[in-house]
Structure 1
Amino acid sequence: MTKFHINRRRLIQTSAAGAAILAAPSILRSREARAQEGTVNIWTYANFIPQDFISEFQNETGIQIQVRLVDDQGKQFNLLAAEQPQPTVDILTVAGHRFLQFIESGLLAPIDTDRLTNWGNINTIYSESDWGTINGEKWGAPVLSGAEVLAWNTEMVDASETTSWDVMFDPKYQGQTAYIIQDMMSVMMLYKGYDGNMIEYMDDPERAAEIVRETRDFMIENKGMVRKFYDSGAEIQQMFINQDVVLAHAWNGPISKLIMDGFPIDMTIPKEGSYGFIYTFNIAENAPNADNAYTFLDALLARPEIGAAMTRASGYLSTMNGVNEHLSELEQRASSFTEEELEGLQFFRAEANEMKYQLVDPAVEEIKAA
């Protein structure tokens, strides 16, 4: 099947990395930036910031990057809320559909794009998107994008079986599947023909509750199919490598990394559809090193090679313009979907999140306990 790069559909920017960034020109040009000292504290996912960039940034600015790894948006929210009004973090990684929760709780500072000379290097699909502007303010720098995908071991599962989410419940693969349970709830609502964002039901909470119960019961009924509910990208990668599973619901980033590494795996967006998401770097309200945070963000957005390196490190798709020029043939395959697949891709939205997660969070615990 012919593959199309994701930016052809203007939904998700295709962007895998090319040459190493150390050979590229200097990150920063200003003498003032080079003279800064101190630290910038960042909470982010594993491999989101390439090590070469960290070394180059620290050498040029004298600012030390201190990374604390996170693996869950809810845990990050709770930690940041507990630290207020004096957080230890300067930059944190928030998924676009969780913006409202962080903003309404006063945990993020709006981004002053006038302080980011390289803001224009972000594709306007992301930098000027409606989900990224709330109350007239921008709340983060979109850096990577991804999708919830169906992934499979190509030596164990035939591609013809993966056109539908049905395959996750085929008795043939009992005990050989895995998924992120909360994310799978949204996908399964979509699979059953409902709005997994629950925006359609904001004025009908009883209908929303009914849909969540139906989806919960379906997942309990099929719980015996699942080997494990997992949490992190590294975990599902290891499960595939160990052949603990041959099928999984997954984020595309960890799967893309396996493809780039030559592992026999592929991914798709099944015919029932799935959800996409954007990761943003946000400045915390009362960030202890806000000036250094802006210096870091501007450096990160300086060149398409950096965006390419971010994709190579994380497997997710860069939001920056010009990254395609740095794609190898294998990296193109790892970061592309067919036009037909993209027709079914929607973005997670935040408007109904309060109602949604009041219903979904207890349902998740009930599935685990069943």
Structure 2
Amino acid sequence: MRRKRTLAGTAALGLALALGLAACGSDGGSDASGSAGEEQGGFTPPDIPMKESLGDMEGEVNILAWPYYAEDGTADPAADWVTDYEKDTGCQANVKYFKTSDEAVSLMKSGDWDVVSASGDATLRLIASGDVAPVNTDLVPNYADVQPFLKDRLWNSVDGQMYGIPHGWGANLLMWRTDKVDPAPTSWASVFEPDSPYAGKITAYDSPIYIADAALYLMNTQPDLGIKNPYALDADQLAKAVEVLKTQKAEVGEYWSDYLAHIQSFTNGDSVIGTTWQSNANALTAADVPVEAILPDEGSTGWIDTWMVAADSPHSNCAYAWLDHIVSPKTQAALTEYYGEAPANAKACGFTSDKSFCDTYHAADAAYVEKIWYWTTPISDCLDGRTDVQCTDYGDWTQAWTEVKG
């Protein structure tokens, strides 16, 4: 039914940095979520060869995925996008679900997994550590139908070379109980400004990546800080974001990562305003809980998942077959509708059972996408193009988040 993930990341970026993670940054383009190639500049990843052609299927593939991304109908007969893959390819799908991005990064180092569905706060770490290989998109026919605005971006490519196949995405929305919050909020200021009338009933996402939400708030309220990208913060900018979050903590009733607990909190009124996902809002509305969720005018953070192939996968042919299958129109329609996210494949919208699904999730709305700053791993070389200062990395953010939470 919804994003069944818990992204309370806690690991530092030290290994990736030790392996030479050095991004050249962007040229300061206007694209909110950033793009690769000329705008990103890219960093120099380890020299991992890219697969040049497909061969015989190896008979199995080991899949590391977010929960519900590789269902075979066992848990729910309505959720099965694995059986057809196995029948068509002869590849047995061996699936393990992970709960956090940090867990996925750690598991990929074992060498036991062929493919992984990595979020934007994990992808650059996997690339920099040499755990994943560049992806030859010519070997993934359905990649041609992936929305152009999801290709060659900061979180899935380096210098124009794709390192994965976009899967599904969404924005972090502002939600409130319409019977308890008045007037209706229009800005993230409603959860970050001090002395809120809803103190103790505000909810915030429980992860170091939530620092970017505070940074985005500062981008719009304190432009003199010079924040141009909420994932590119120097030490002073990070300190300011931490100040905002510490002030907010006094008014937060719940830090959430469990979507079911989040829904229950809004259902019983323990939470009345805060960050959410579209599917959580849909579930509450379906249960007649009076909520509304919006993407504020100043934009928001968001997430997109990318299927990546292990650098030394012993089942790379089955892995590439999985990439093509999971991004095919019918599979995308079934999976993303069940899961609650916008599909990457533009043709998927023709196969959803709910014909308004793609409109609800803004699947083809490029203007909507431009308001989203997708989760991207913070790294020491500034992603906003600055070269006269060192930016803070994911390790710094993890330490800062610990300081915020106390």
Name the residue aligned to 2:63: 42
Overall identity of the aligned pairs, in %: 23
Structure-2 separation of matches of 1:259 and 1:187? 25
> What SS does the corresponding residue of 2:116 show, helix, strand or coil?
strand
8 Å CA contact 1:260, 1:330 repeated in 2 = no
1:269 aligned onto 2:291: no
Count residues in correspondence.
Answer: 327
Structure-2 separation of matches of 1:48 and 1:257? 19
For the structure 1 residues 279 and 157, does the alpha-carbon distance in structure 2 shift closer, same or farther, using more than 3 Å as the test?
same
8 Å CA contact 1:44, 1:69 repeated in 2 = yes
1:132 aligned onto 2:156: yes
For the structure 1 residues 263 and 217, does the alpha-carbon distance in structure 2 shift closer, same or farther, using more than 3 Å as the test?
same
| Equivalent of residue 65 in structure 1, options 79, 93, 109 | 93
Structure-1 separation of matches of 2:351 and 2:359? 13
For the structure 1 residues 38 and 152, does the alpha-carbon distance in structure 2 shift closer, same or farther, using more than 3 Å as the test?
farther
| Equivalent of residue 373 in structure 2, options 322, 329, 346 | 346
What letter corresponds to residue 110 of structure 1 in structure 2? P
Structure-2 separation of matches of 1:259 and 1:91? 35
> What SS does the corresponding residue of 2:320 show, helix, strand or coil?
helix
Structure-1 separation of matches of 2:154 and 2:404? 34
> What SS does the corresponding residue of 1:109 show, helix, strand or coil?
coil
Name the residue aligned to 2:235: 209
CA positional deviation for 1:227: 1.8
RMSD (Å) for aligned C-alpha atoms: 3.3
Q: How does 1:130-279 map to 2 (within 5 A)?
A: 132-135=156-159, 137-158=161-182, 160-169=183-192, 171-181=196-206, 182-193=208-219, 194-199=227-232, 208-256=234-282, 258=284, 264-279=290-305
CA positional deviation for 1:331: 2.7
8 Å CA contact 1:39, 1:64 repeated in 2 = yes
CA positional deviation for 1:260: 6.4
| Equivalent of residue 121 in structure 1, options 124, 128, 145 | 145
> What SS does the corresponding residue of 1:143 show, helix, strand or coil?
strand
> What SS does the corresponding residue of 2:393 show, helix, strand or coil?
helix
Deviations 1:57-100 (A, max 9, x none): 2344443323222232123213323x1xxx12111111245432
Higher relative contact order (CA 8 A, sep 6+): 1
214-223 or 44-53: which moved more? Answer: 44-53
CA positional deviation for 1:253: 4.7
What letter corresponds to residue 40 of structure 1 in structure 2? V
Structure-2 separation of matches of 1:36 and 1:344? 41
What letter corresponds to residue 60 of structure 2 in structure 1? T
Name the residue aligned to 1:79: 107
Structure-2 separation of matches of 1:176 and 1:306? 39
CA positional deviation for 1:278: 2.1
Q: Which runs of 5+ in 2 are unaligned?
A: 1-30, 34-53, 72-78, 220-226, 382-391
8 Å CA contact 2:202, 2:252 repeated in 1 = yes
Structure-2 separation of matches of 1:155 and 1:316? 27
For the structure 1 residues 217 and 132, does the alpha-carbon distance in structure 2 shift closer, same or farther, using more than 3 Å as the test?
closer
Structure-1 separation of matches of 2:199 and 2:310? 44
TM-score of the two chains, using structure 1 as the length reference: 0.75
CA positional deviation for 1:353: 5.7
Name the residue aligned to 1:15: none
> What SS does the corresponding residue of 1:322 show, helix, strand or coil?
helix
Name the residue aligned to 1:335: 361
Q: Which runs of 5+ in 1 are unaligned?
A: 1-9, 13-31, 202-207
290-299 or 234-243: which moved more? Answer: 234-243
8 Å CA contact 1:49, 1:313 repeated in 2 = no
What letter corresponds to residue 340 of structure 2 in structure 1? G
Structure-2 separation of matches of 1:185 and 1:36? 43
| Equivalent of residue 310 in structure 1, options 298, 313, 335 | 335
Deviations 1:157-190 (A, max 9, x none): 35x4221123225633222222224233111111
TM-score of the two chains, using structure 2 as the length reference: 0.69
Deviations 1:82-122 (A, max 9, x none): x1xxx121111112454322111011011122322322122
Deviations 1:109-163 (A, max 9, x none): 11122322322122222235465331553200101111222122344435x4221
8 Å CA contact 1:197, 1:353 repeated in 2 = no
1:293 aligned onto 2:326: no
